[in-house]
Amino acid sequence: MNMSLSVISLVVAVISMVTSFFTFYFTNLSPGELQVTFPDNIGFSYDLDRVYILIPITFTNAGSARSRVQVNEITAAIKVLPNGPALHTRWDYAAYYLSNQEYYARYKEWVDKYKPNVKFDSEDQLIYEGRAVPFQVIGGAFISKLYRFAETEDAGLSADDLYGKDARLCLSVNYDEKFQSVPIKLPHMDSSQFNYVWVDTEKLSKEKCLVEAGAK
């Protein structure tokens, strides 16, 4: 009887030690792992011979509370399928949306003076927030950002050349060469607003992209 109790006590002690070790490890020592959530829609615009992309991105650090992940740069490449050209873009600035009512109330004098022909046919307006800069995601936290990407070099293509083309968008986060890509059909692009294309996230691929997402 006493031996049985001793064995049970030993087993309980071992289980307790193992549980404590793993709890301590995952709470304090687990390295940071950045998870990048792809959006369900992406905006495209074309102005001054350059393509602009608007991508909402959520970054989650699945590591311990002490872990830190530094995001240094984000690039996105569009590969026109099957053998078309590649367009390279880089994060330009962070942005957010205001409703038309809030936008006009806040910027009425500026709009009336500098942009009297601004379109209010959409539900909201895109607002500049700040230049894209490296940032840190702490363990157990997430950051949601809306980024505008700007084409880094002129590929010699007009908006009409791209309209309706099948393509693959490759998003690259520069912290450990993490890639995500998804097939898209390019929408009509103009300079007055972003036109959106829905993304089928079920076809999301983490394989190496057909074209490097970094700028040439």
Tens digits of per-residue pLDDT, 94-122? 999 988 889 888 888 888 888 777 767 77
pLDDT level of residue 24 (50, 70, 90 thresholds): low
pLDDT at 18 over 70: no
| Type of residue numbered 83 | N
**Per-residue pLDDT at 58:** 92
pTM of the model: 0.76
Q: Looking at residue 216, what is its pLDDT?
A: 40
Q: What are 171-180's pLDDT values in tens digits?
A: 888 876 567 7
Domains of the chain by residue range: 1-30, 32-203
pLDDT for 176 equals: 62
